[in-house]
Amino acid sequence: MWYNNPMNKLVVLDNGLKVVVCENPSVRSLAAGVFVGAGSVNEEGEKSGISHLIEHMVFKGTERRSAFDIVNETDSVGAQLNAYTSKTHTCYYTVSRDIHADKCLDVLADMYFNPKFDAAELEKEKKVVLEELNESEDTPDDVCMEKLASAVYKGHALERSILGTKKTLKALSAEDLHAYKNKFYVPTDTVLSLAGNISEADAVGLAEKYFGKAPVVESPARRLEAATVKGHFAHKKKQIEQAHIAFGFPGIAYESDETFALKLLSSAFGMEMSSRLFQNVREKLGLCYSIIGYPTSYINNGSYVIYTSTSPENVELAVKAIRAEIERLLEGGITGEELAKSKEQLKTSMVLGQESTSAVMRAFGRHAVTTGELYDIDDNIRKIDEVTLKDISAVAEKVFDFERVSASFVGGEIVDIHKMMKGI
């Protein structure tokens, strides 16, 4: 187990790169992740989607390796190699046996420092990403959530799509990718997260070997400003069987301790099968197959999202049912029994997440690239235990502001669910 583990360390190299080490000698695996503080929030409008396109292109070859070499070398040692892009960061990672740590770090560092961004390969990969974009646009819940982000964060960096648009993707050049990568892929905004059977000395040694020679560069990233959440409605007409609806309320910022109260509220209200939304909107009223309410959080920003899909004739009933559950929550809060259950659910989820090398690597890496600090599960469990019913009621009052709620709708005939939720 990793929690309450004095072998979890954060070391900063001379060039500013942070190394997170989560040592667990009881396993024989190692997960290694390179987290770069560059995501869609860093992109200028005409460069929308460039972070994600770079994530694709680093797999297409480096100065030392062809695209085949990259995957063949990791496959040859049985390692998993993958990557993802979020709104705030990009991650490249491997999961392997511990004896292949050197090979995996060699490949990851080569991808990080030396991508070729070959022009011919770029044009081919643009087609791949455009197909990914087309697939997303054919997925109504994806469209609904993209629309919701544009409504909640209208005019703010968090509004931007990770995939970009067809227009911006087609316009991006190899020179654009090199310029963006050279600006943001710098040690001061990079975290190397290592979890598994590796000592601190070996981890730092590998970090120095593969990342330590990079020069010191001042961070270009700006702290994410707080969005002014006023409440907007975004929608898209699609000829589909169901209506997809989502609401976004003002949330809690990542760095705030109130996130724990909101997570516990969410567990009782919208996250679990025993939650109020699931039990009352689905089980009792039969208005949907699935429904969920959950918080999202970023530095200085956050939102609380409620999403479901239902038959067009049931849209008004579903919206009224969701609003009724929110009003009941605001009037009476949650019960002591619900709070106790939520605490156990959240703590268990956190603890079980610490039993996988890849999950630990991701959790510690995300936290470090977001805050610059070492993730502390025991401190988080303590904060969960300290949350009271009064704290839950206070955060509910703060979040469920009908004057500032945003909404998105995807369906055959547009219904103004925004006005319904606001009670207009």
Confidence at residue 415, expressed as pLDDT on a 0 to 100 scale: 95
Confidence at residue 5, expressed as pLDDT on a 0 to 100 scale: 67
**For this structure, is 63 an active site residue?**
no
DSSP 8-state code for residue 138: T
Answer whether 302's CB lies under 8 Å from 251's CB. Answer: yes
Q: Mean of the per-residue pLDDT values for the chain?
A: 95
Confidence at residue 355, expressed as pLDDT on a 0 to 100 scale: 85
Whether the predicted pLDDT of 2 surpasses 50: no
Confidence at residue 222, expressed as pLDDT on a 0 to 100 scale: 75
Whether the predicted pLDDT of 321 surpasses 90: yes
Confidence at residue 424, expressed as pLDDT on a 0 to 100 scale: 77
pLDDT higher for 335 or 221?
A: 335
Percent of the chain with pLDDT over 70: 99
pLDDT higher for 222 or 121?
A: 121
- The DSSP result for 94-136, as a single string, is EEEEGGGHHHHHHHHHHHHH-B---HHHHHHHHHHHHHHHHHH
Confidence at residue 353, expressed as pLDDT on a 0 to 100 scale: 84
Mean pLDDT of 384-407: 97
Question: Per DSSP, what are the bridge partners of residue 233?
Answer: 407
Give the integer Cα–Cα distance in Å for 408 and 418.
8
Among 23, 43, 44, 55, the one annotated catalytic: 55
Give the integer Cα–Cα distance in Å for 18 and 98.
21
Whether the predicted pLDDT of 149 surpasses 50: yes
Mean pLDDT of 301-309: 97
Confidence at residue 221, expressed as pLDDT on a 0 to 100 scale: 73
Residue appearing with tokens 């502001």: 401
Mean pLDDT of 415-420: 96
Confidence at residue 1, expressed as pLDDT on a 0 to 100 scale: 40
Give the integer Cα–Cα distance in Å for 405 and 245.
13
pTM of the model: 0.94
Chain segment 72-102, per-residue pLDDT in tens: 999 999 999 999 999 999 999 999 999 999 9
Which domains are delineated in the chain?
8-211 (3.30.830.10), 233-422 (3.30.830.10)
